[in-house]
Structure 1
Amino acid sequence: MTFKKICTLDDLWEGEMASFEIDGQEVLVVAPEGGEIRAFQGMCPHQDIPLVEGKFDGKTVVCRAHLWQFDACSGKGINPSDCALAQYPVKIEGDHILVDTEGVMPLFAHT
């Protein structure tokens, strides 16, 4: 595994999301309310819209284009439920958030 530092814990507060490019892949990092920091593919599996341009209420990521919704703890689709976001391993070292994109490919859904 090749973890890369992307930001610090001070850069991402509970209930916030941020987007980073890692090895040519757009990665969405979320800090769900009451949960652990997660990293998912940064592009909506529907039509390749950056998810960071959408909304995040601390529990659900919503794409701005067609309002597709994803659970911020699992990446599973809520609406529609037959899709998901690829999830990347996350590691916290001291104050740093690290993500590994190696071997994980973004998922795409029906249109």
Structure 2
Amino acid sequence: MYLELTVCKVTSFADIDTESSFFFIGRTDEELSLVCLTEDTPENTVEREDGWRGFRIQGVLDFSLIGILSKISAVLAGNKIGIFAVSTYNTDYILVKEENFSRALEVLGSAGYEIV
């Protein structure tokens, strides 16, 4: 079973469930963004796009490693699969639309990536 994720813009971070098992927040001078479990999407959402699924690049990635996300996104782009990428200190997460998720895993497996 894979998590159902939503990418959205919110008016404030006050309503975000910070006890949730999965969320990313971002702030710029233009917006407040949130990636969260669809079931945890707050009421103060201005815009939202549901139907995302994600996978994690396995292992802790050293900052000196170059091109990991680029290579994976190139494989997916070559197969007409768009991505939404988010990163933590340790690793990267790649989100794809639900209808492309199985195919994304298949093409990455065919390209030599181990899917666990």
TM bucket (normalised to shorter chain) is under 0.3
Of structures 1 and 2, the larger Rg is shown by 2
Tell me the TM-score normalised to structure 1 length: 0.26
Greater relative CO (CA pairs within 8 A, separation 6+) = 1
The structure where helix makes up a greater share of residues is: 2
- Greater strand share, 1 or 2? 1
